[in-house]
Amino acid sequence: MSNNTTVSTLVNGRASETFAIADRGLHYGDGVFETAAIQGGIVEFWVRHDARLKQGCNRLGIPLPEPVLLKSEIDTLCFGQTRGVLKVIITRGSGGRGYRPPSGAECQPTRIVQIHPWPDYPASWSDEGVRIRTCQTRLSQQPLLAGIKHLNRLEQVLARREWQDPDIAESIMLDTAERVICGTTSNVFFVRDGLLHTPELSRCGIAGIIRSVVLEIAAALGMSTQVGEYSLADLAEADEIFFTNSLIGVWPVRQWDEQQFSPGNVARRIAESLAAWKNRHQGSSD
């Protein structure tokens, strides 16, 4: 964050660093969130983040946040931020003790809008590639929650606890059926025999915004893509592997455990197209 060093937060439009302890976001993780990059005061790909937020709310039966209010709160916090991270959380709001959600007028969702500092990842991770590992923690299979970015994230916390080495940037996560799904905080792509692959996410994982953009970029570049089911063995035979999310963009893999990879042409072309796309769409948030 360029203007100051403290986190700025609006809760239902009011500056606050606290929120109601009765909120179901705390008690049950009953809500969804988005994490987006801010560049030059603009939230990158906000239209897509907003669409996923709404999809998550609809899946959980949480009333949609009032769009004008939410956008105005985001604009207020992002104004003048040259570089930063936007986090938006929508919870079902307060609602007594017990799993049964409040309904109708009793349900007053909570909007939380936050600005965080831009993470200081080494520039070499984008340019020369990252070292990665494989997680022991497996993702459970829950089609009802797959794809959306909900607040039940203990599996990711357990996965991220597995390593402390700051030189390891990411770790591959499998589901309980040993299918490759994602990184702990990113989506994964790999190239084999000229085809760009990424795991399908109908049982677990989060459908990343940059993942969707990369699939569109690849199609526009004339690359053949496949969304499918893959094993670790499939990944190990890849010519290139790379990770994507809204903050890292594209991280090519240069080393996976002891196996070496050359950050390749596909990752580079995708990263260049992504940067060009962002420049082209600056100001429109998509």
CB 195 within 8 A of CB 219: no
Which residues face 197 on adjacent strands?
Answer: 190, 226
CB 44 within 8 A of CB 38: yes
Stretch that binds a second copy, among 65-73, 84-92, 210-218, 266-274 (CB under 8 A): 84-92
154 binds a second copy (CB under 8 A): yes
- For 184, how many CA atoms within 13 A lie in the half-sphere containing its CB? 20
Q: Cα–Cα distance between 163 and 154 in angstroms, integer? A: 16
157 binds a second copy (CB under 8 A): yes
Per CB under 8 A, which of residues 127..146 are in contact with a second copy? 137-138, 140-142, 144-145
105 binds a second copy (CB under 8 A): no
CB 173 within 8 A of CB 231: no
Per CB under 8 A, which of residues 28..47 are in contact with a second copy? 28-30, 33, 35
Return the residue matching tokens 């239902």: 12
For 49, the 3-state DSSP assignment is helix
Q: Which is closer to a second copy, CB of 18 or CB of 279?
A: 18
158 binds a second copy (CB under 8 A): yes
Q: Cα–Cα distance between 53 and 51 in angstroms, integer? A: 5
Q: Which is closer to a second copy, CB of 43 or CB of 151?
A: 151
For 234, the 3-state DSSP assignment is helix
24 binds a second copy (CB under 8 A): yes
161 binds a second copy (CB under 8 A): yes
CB of residue 260 to a second copy, shortest distance in Å = 26
Stretch that binds a second copy, among 11-19, 127-135, 250-258, 277-285 (CB under 8 A): 11-19
Tell me the CA distances in angstroms from 30 to 24, 99, 117, 132, 191, one per residue in order: 5, 9, 26, 32, 37
Binding site for a second copy (CB under 8 A): 7, 9, 11, 16-30, 33, 35, 60-61, 85, 87, 89, 91-92, 96-101, 103, 112, 114, 116, 119, 137-138, 140-142, 144-145, 150-161, 164, 176, 184-185
